[in-house]
Amino acid sequence: MTANLFSSFRNAKPVDGKAALPLNLTVEEVFEEGMVTRTLNLDGQEIIFTAMRLRRPLHVHGPVSRSLLANLEEFQEAWTTWLPAHYGIVSITAASEIETQPSRRDRAAFAFSGGIDATYSLVRHTTGSAGRRTLKPVVAALIKGFDIGLADDAAFAIAQRGAEATLERIGVPIAIIETNWKSDLCYDWRMEHATGLAACMVQFAGLADAAVIGGDEGYDKVDIPWGSNAVSNPLLSSDTMPLRTEGSGFTRSERVGFLVEQNAPMDHLRVCWENAQTGSNCGICEKCIRSQLNFLAVGAEPRGFEKRANWWRVATIPSRSLGDNYFLNETLAAAKRRGIKGAWRYAVMAGMAKNILLAPKTSLTRAIKNAIRRNEPLYRRLKKAFKK
């Protein structure tokens, strides 16, 4: 069973010199057969992060959960501590503050990209492997407009078919969400993507009692500041629709190992984002290469990749920062725990050494990009120019 959910935004115009004026938010809702369209009408840009970035208060013309408002106060405190030059604390008000008793039926909506983390989250709960925290998946949401753009119909069709094949075996229905949040409204995807994801998942309030998203790094490496993390993600919750980040107690290789042990469907895994327009896994980008290493680290053959990363590709794996060595080292540690051998391990060591040697260059490049991003007018002009 497939449902469709479309979120869009209107009147999203940049605002300058109006720091004292509130951003006004209203929502229009239209129900059609098999589809719900919710249109946000906002006289600025995004919601919480734009208000914080512009230092303008935010007023919602409608009811808002009191517990969500309370959590957003601390959410702002966290992000202004991490990135004080980017964001400030603003007041958030609503036409009315409400709260109902939280449901205890433990039904959950799962964000499902088709990747390792999302598949792990679903399988962990469908098999009851989360213990007392186990939730019943009632829907898995595949989002169009994040890694695959709204105009990439062919790529999304491939991703959707793969997701449907996986979910059919797991026994969870799929819902399709379409949103222009990233393309039109998100300013810094690295730092803000969890808020867009949370906004999509809260659409299932009523159908589900909680929303679940897959974790990025494990608790052994909490990457802050980073958009999705175990510290600030829960602060995007309300009492009636908590947001849970799943899998942080396990490394990415351990998650793959769990899926292998559970004989989970993985032929249609989709991990690639650098070449997401294909709807599949290129096999040679950084994410594809290290995902193949996760399989090798647990003694399994990589599945679902168009090309297999050879020794040289692993040794010369692309890197954006020295922090990428965490993922490479994690595969070596997982292989050591399981007694896994192979020449690929020496390629990983070579790749880590290469990243150390190139650290000054990658650090300088990162610093330049961050400086440009802090100059919003320049950043938007460059972003627009490179899109042409």
Per-residue pLDDT band at 387 (split at 50, 70, 90): low
- pLDDT score of 14 more than 80: no
- pLDDT score of 377 more than 80: no
How high is the pLDDT of residue 10? Answer: 38
Q: In angstroms, what is the C-alpha Rg of the chain?
A: 21
* Listed range (144-153, 222-231, 254-263, 327-336) with the worst mean pLDDT: 222-231
Most confidently modeled of 59-73, 230-244, 255-269?
A: 255-269
How high is the pLDDT of residue 17? Answer: 47
Burial of 24 (0-12, 13-18, 19+ CB in 10 A): middle
> Contact, 41 vs 28, CB < 8 A?
yes
- pLDDT score of 102 more than 90: no
- pLDDT score of 147 more than 70: yes
Per-residue pLDDT band at 388 (split at 50, 70, 90): low
**Mean of pLDDT values over 272-300:** 91
How high is the pLDDT of residue 3? Answer: 45
pLDDT (tens digit, 9 = 90+) per residue, 65-83? 888 898 999 899 999 989 8
Topology at the third CATH level for domain 107-178+187-246: Rossmann fold (3.40.50)
Higher-confidence position of 66 and 335 = 335
> Contact, 296 vs 309, CB < 8 A?
no
**Mean of pLDDT values over 234-243:** 91
| DSSP label of 202 | G
Per-residue pLDDT band at 236 (split at 50, 70, 90): very high
* Listed range (21-35, 55-69, 300-314) with the worst mean pLDDT: 21-35
Q: What is the pTM of this model?
A: 0.83
Q: Where in the chain is the domain with CATH 3.40.50?
A: 107-178+187-246
Question: What DSSP string describes 347-371?
Answer: HHHHHHHHHHHTHHHHHHHHHHHHH
How high is the pLDDT of residue 228? Answer: 92
How high is the pLDDT of residue 44? Answer: 42
How high is the pLDDT of residue 311? Answer: 96
